A and B are shown apart, each in its own frame.
Chain A
Amino acid sequence: MSTGNMNLTLKIWRQKNTKAKGGLVDYKLSDISPDMSFLEMFDVLNEELISKGDEPVVFDHDCREGICGACSMFINGRPHGPKEGVTTCQLHMRSFKDGDTIVVEPWRAKAFPVVKDLTVDRSAFDRVIAAGGFISVNTGNAQDANNLPIPKVQADSAFEAAACIGCGACVATCKNASAMLFVSAKVSQLAQLPQGQPERYRRVQTMVAQMDAEGFGNCTNTGACEAECPKGISLENIARMNRDYLSAKFVSEEDI
Chain B
Amino acid sequence: MTMINKLILLLNTFAGIELKYNQMASFGNAFSSSIGKKLIMGITGLFLISFLAVHCFINALIFVNDGGLTFNVGAHFMATNWLIRAMEVVLMAGLLAHIIQGLRLVFQNQAARPVKYAVNNGAANSKWYSRSMGLLGTILLIFLIVHLSDFWVVSRFTGIPTVDSAGHENLFAVMVARFQTLWVVILYVLAMVSLAYHLLHGFASAFQTLGWNHKKYTPLIKAFGIWYSIIIAILFAAMPVAIYAGLIK
Which B residues are CB-close (under 8 A) to A242?
A: 35, 38-39, 208-211
Interface residue? B37 (CB, 8 A): yes
CB–CB A175/B131 < 8 A? yes
- Given A103-B118, A108-B115, is A209 in contact with B211 using a C-beta cutoff of 8 Å? no
B 14-41 contacts with A by CB, 8 A: 25-30, 33-39
Chain B interface, DSSP helix/strand/loop, else mixed: loop
Query: Which chain A residues in 95-116 approach chain B with CB under 8 Å?
Result: 103, 105, 108-111
Q: Which A residue's beta carbon lies closest to that of B34?
A: A218
Confirm or deny: B216 has a beta carbon within 8 angstroms of a beta carbon on chain A. Answer: no
Give the complex CA separation of A28 and B233 in angstroms.
52
Asked whether any CB of chain B lies closer than 8 Å to the CB of A55, the reply is no
Q: What is the minimal beta-carbon distance from A56 to any residue of chain B, in angstroms?
A: 21
Give min CB distance, A84 to chain B, whole Å: 9
Q: Are B125 and A177 in contact, CB atoms less than 8 angstroms apart? A: no
Asked if A117 is at the interface of the complex by the 8 Å CB criterion, the answer is no
Q: Is the CB of A111 within 8 A of B112?
A: yes
Contact of A103 among B27, B119, B210 (CB under 8 A): B119
Please tell me which stretch of B84-92, B103-111, B172-180, B240-248 contacts chain A, meaning at least 4 of its Cβ atoms lie within 8 angstroms of it.
B103-111
Is A223 on the interface with B (CB-CB < 8 A)? yes
Which of A227, A244, A255 is in CB contact (< 8 Å) with B25? A255
Give the residues in chain B near A254, CB-CB below 8 Å: 25
With a cutoff of 8 Å between Cβ atoms, the chain A residues found around residue B34 in the complex are 178, 180, 208, 211-212, 216-219
* Set of chain A residues within 8 Å of B130, measured between Cβ atoms: 220-223
B99 to chain A, nearest CB (A): 16
**A240 interface hit (Cβ, 8 Å):** yes
A255 partner, pick from B26, B38, B117, B131, beta carbons under 8 A: B26
Closest chain B residue to A111 by CB distance? Answer: B112
The docked-state distance in angstroms from the alpha carbon of A226 to that of B30 is 26
- Residues 220-256 of A, flagged 1 when their CB comes within 8 A of B and 0 if not, give 1111100110000001101111111110011011111
Which positions 156-194 of chain A face chain B at CB distance < 8 Å?
Answer: 173, 175-178, 180
Q: Which residues of the other chain, A, contact B105 by a CB distance below 8 angstroms?
A: 218, 220
A38 interface hit (Cβ, 8 Å): no
**B122 engages A256 (CB within 8 Å):** no
Task: Point out the residues of chain A lying under 8 angstroms from B118, CB to CB.
Answer: 11, 13, 24, 103, 105
Chain B interfacial residues counted at CB < 8 A: 44
Q: Which residues of B contact A11 (CB under 8 A)?
A: 118
**A78–chain B nearest beta-carbon distance, Å:** 5
Contacts of B116 in A (CB 8 A): 108
Residue contact A249 to B28, C-beta cutoff 8 Å: yes
Asked if residues B119 and A209 are in contact (CB atoms below 8 Å), the reply is no
Interface residue from A74, A218, A223 paired with B117 (Cβ < 8 Å): A74
| A177: B residues at CB distance < 8 A | 109, 112-113
Closest to A153 in B: B215
Question: Are the C-beta atoms of A245 and B113 separated by less than 8 Å?
Answer: no
The 3 closest A-B pairs by CB, nearest first: A243-B211, A77-B121, A239-B213
With A77-B120, A222-B126 already in contact, 7 other A-B pairs whose C-beta atoms are closer than 8 Å: A13-B118, A77-B122, A217-B108, A218-B34, A242-B35, A242-B209, A249-B30
25 intermolecular pairs with C-beta atoms under 8 Å apart: A77-B120, A105-B117, A108-B113, A108-B115, A109-B113, A176-B112, A216-B34, A217-B113, A218-B34, A220-B205, A227-B124, A228-B125, A238-B208, A239-B213, A242-B35, A242-B38, A243-B210, A246-B30, A246-B210, A249-B28, A250-B30, A252-B25, A254-B25, A255-B26, A255-B28
